[in-house]
Amino acid sequence: MLVAMSGGVDSAVAAHLLREVGYEVLCVHLNFDAAGGCFAAGSADDARRSAEAIGIELIIEQAGDRMAPIIDYFVAEYARGRTPNPCPVCNATVKLARLTALADELSADYIATGHHARIGRRDGRACIRRGRLRAKDQSYALFAVSPDIMDRLLLPVGELSGKQAVREIARTLNLPVHGKPESQDICFLAGGDYAPLLAERAPRALRAGNIVNSAGEVLGRHDGFGRYTIGQRKGLGIAAAEPLYVIGIDAETATVTVGPKREVFSDELTASAANWHCQVPSEFAAIVQVRYNHQGAPARVRLTGQGGFEVKFDETVAAVTPGQAAVCYEGDRLLGGGWID
């Protein structure tokens, strides 16, 4: 059993839980510090100390070069006027891809992470399900992983009742990371501010332009369309009779369109580059989640060919954002998803 140990409390507890039920556990820490971003300082040391406290062997692999394509994708999406979501891409193409390859090299039958999601079975096949505590569920960030790894993937932390249960186990074990704060930022950004990264790698995304309403009337100016995302209210710098929200971004003309709250809502979306974890019909009902902290909404999904699909929501949904993922569920079972266009 090969467990990804990030240096946080979730992965450390995952390793402990798996050893407790009888697995022979080996941990690996992918160290991204050389990727040119601003990664969490000391994560490798935290992983090492946690492994020592549990009594499990740890491999530290220098993996900075593996993160470079994720950062390239991140800035390229902003340059297109989209809002990227790097975590699902990284989980699929870097973290779990490398974990699987290492498991093959080491003849490990299973792999595991500290994600708050669960593995279940449906029609004789393994599938991803939401974590027991919906507020901490991370299955959305796993939609892009290959369905080929389902039979060997374990997610023990998702069976617990949330973060407090994880921390309680960690405190009982005297793990050094039991009180480590939970990061809310993208791992390769300093303090969550991506503007310096855009200035360095995609200055096109910081071109100034007009802020207009849905009728095309100029209301003001902005200092870079890449600083905005659909649904954003703060930082517009426009005085109006009612609150205004970003409802559109045109990268070609560097135009940001704003409107009242009612114009933030939509009842449909199109998506591409779908990754399905099971065989789905050409049209089906699902709960569709359009961003990480969205609760999901009932909808009809229709496949359009070439990895595309359309979603028609039963009721309007706020801030459907190009570049984010539209992830489909049947109850708590992850069906798959794609990227909102």
Residue recorded with tokens 């399900």: 129
Helix (H, G, I), strand (E, B) or coil at 205: helix
Measured distance CA(37)–CA(266) in Å, rounded: 35
Interhelix angle 9-20/163-172, nearest 10 degrees? 70
Residue whose tokens read 């708050």: 116
278 tagged catalytic: no
Helix (H) / strand (E) element for 335: namely: strand 333-340
Q: How far apart are the first and last CA of the chain?
A: 38
Structural contact between residues 314 and 322, judged by C-beta atoms closer than 8 angstroms:
no
Single out the catalytic residue among 27, 87, 127, 187: 187
Where helices occur in 1-125 by DSSP H, the ranges are 9-20, 43-54, 64-79, 86-90, 96-105
Q: Cβ distance 292 to 137 under 8 Å? A: no
Q: How many CA atoms lie within 13 A of 119 on its CB side?
A: 19
Point out the catalytic residue in the list 87, 90, 127, 328. 90
Instruction: Report how far apart, in Å, the C-alpha atoms of 1 and of each of 6, 10, 12, 22, 125 are.
Output: 16, 17, 14, 10, 20
Spacing of C-alpha 303 from chain mean position:
23
Cα angle 219-225-227, degrees, rounded to a multiple of 5: 110
- Number of Cβ within 10 Å of residue 47's Cβ equals 27
What is the enclosing helix (H) or strand (E) of 316?
Answer: strand 308-318
Calculate the CA 63 to chain-centre distance.
Answer: 19
Q: Is 187 a catalytic residue?
A: yes
Residues with active-site annotation: 90, 187
